Amino acid sequence: MFTIVRSNDIQLIQFRLLQDLGINHCITTRPGGVSRPPYESLNMAFHTGDDPDAVCENRLRACEVLGYPLEQLVAGEQVHGDAVHVVSAADAGRGACDRESAVQNTDILLTNTPGILLASFYADCVPVLLADPIRQAVGVAHCGWRGTQAEAPRRALEAMAAFFGTDVADVRVVIGPSIGPCCYEVSDQMKRTFCDQFGHHVVLGRMLDLRLANQITLERVGVPAAQILTAPFCTSCQKELFYSHRAHGGKTGRFAALIGL
Ligand SMILES: [Zn+2]
């Protein structure tokens, strides 16, 4: 299902579903970076309060293992929304070395430009990585509960159809490491809201399954179930490997989902 690419202490997770298509991608993990507690050690995001120089060094290291120059990375300024930005060559490097130049107010990044590396950042929210091997396009959607409720994966696929001519039947999707239904306790009101929208299977007792909600959105839009992979990692259970907003009490780093052609 997945492989781990190791270089020095860095461990990047890659998924066969996307590897088989030749799509460059990974989920970063915590070891092998330079950030100090509570961000130790491969914190990939600036907005956490970590030393920006440490974040730059961490990103350089991860990009190097993946074989991309950091200048080709493009990041969005995530706001738990459903806005889409189609990344072109002119965007290369936006948000790569600072927070200010990132694509503002954007949780969904798409591109069909080879050499661009899309980046988004996580500590419990759901990374949704998308690839269209026919039209040669990729994307990433940052789906917390708000993005899930806004059906951000649907927005991503609608935009891929509009901009790249993507047919949803061709799309492969990885639902990445995120807080699992084992650890994501929510209010009664939130349970009701999600049950109404996605069906009762997304709630287990007091727990919400955000990944399943996103999978349901993807299937409703028309992505074949066999082309959707949910990664078997809970960020809260495996907090030594990933960052978890809940498990670490809010003050922590972010791992990254990276994808490019
Ligand atoms: Zn868990």
Task: Give the per-residue pLDDT at 249.
Answer: 86
Task: Give the per-residue pLDDT at 221.
Answer: 98
Centre of ligand 1 to C-alpha 244, Å, is 10
Task: Give the per-residue pLDDT at 24.
Answer: 97
Centre of ligand 1 to C-alpha 91, Å, is 36
Q: Is the peptide bond before 41 cis (omega within 30 degrees of 0)?
A: yes
b/e map 123-133, b = 16+ CB within 10 Å: bbbbbbbbbbe
Centre of ligand 1 to C-alpha 30, Å, is 17
> For residue 125, which of 107, 139, 98 has the smallest C-alpha distance?
107
d(CA 52, CA 33): 13
Centre of ligand 1 to C-alpha 158, Å, is 31
Q: Regarding the domain with residue range 2-260, which homologous superfamily does it belong to in the CATH classification?
A: CNF1/YfiH-like putative cysteine hydrolases (3.60.140.10)
> For residue 144, which of 110, 101, 194, 69 has the smallest C-alpha distance?
194
DSSP string, 210-229: HHHHHHHHHHHHT--GGGEE
Model-level pTM?
0.97
Task: Give the per-residue pLDDT at 92.
Answer: 98
Query: pLDDT truncated to tens, each residue of the chain (261 aa)?
Result: 999 999 999 999 999 999 999 999 999 999 999 999 999 999 999 999 999 999 999 999 999 999 999 999 999 999 999 999 999 999 999 999 999 999 999 999 999 999 999 999 999 999 999 999 999 999 999 999 999 999 999 999 999 999 999 999 999 999 999 999 999 999 999 999 999 999 999 999 999 999 999 999 999 999 999 999 999 999 999 999 999 999 998 899 999 999 999
Task: Give the per-residue pLDDT at 51.
Answer: 97
Centre of ligand 1 to C-alpha 245, Å, is 12
Centre of ligand 1 to C-alpha 180, Å, is 5
Centre of ligand 1 to C-alpha 143, Å, is 17
Tell me phi and psi for residue 48, to 5 degrees: -80, -15
Centre of ligand 1 to C-alpha 105, Å, is 29
Centre of ligand 1 to C-alpha 230, Å, is 14
Centre of ligand 1 to C-alpha 233, Å, is 8
Task: Give the per-residue pLDDT at 35.
Answer: 98
Decide: 88 and 235 in contact? Cβ < 8 Å: no
Centre of ligand 1 to C-alpha 236, Å, is 5
> For residue 56, which of 73, 81, 78, 37 has the smallest C-alpha distance?
73
Centre of ligand 1 to C-alpha 130, Å, is 24
d(CA 152, CA 165): 18
Task: Give the per-residue pLDDT at 250.
Answer: 85
Q: How far is CA 67 from CA 60, 63, 97, in A?
A: 10, 6, 17
Centre of ligand 1 to C-alpha 58, Å, is 26
Task: Give the per-residue pLDDT at 122.
Answer: 98
Centre of ligand 1 to C-alpha 89, Å, is 39
Domain borders along the chain are: 2-260
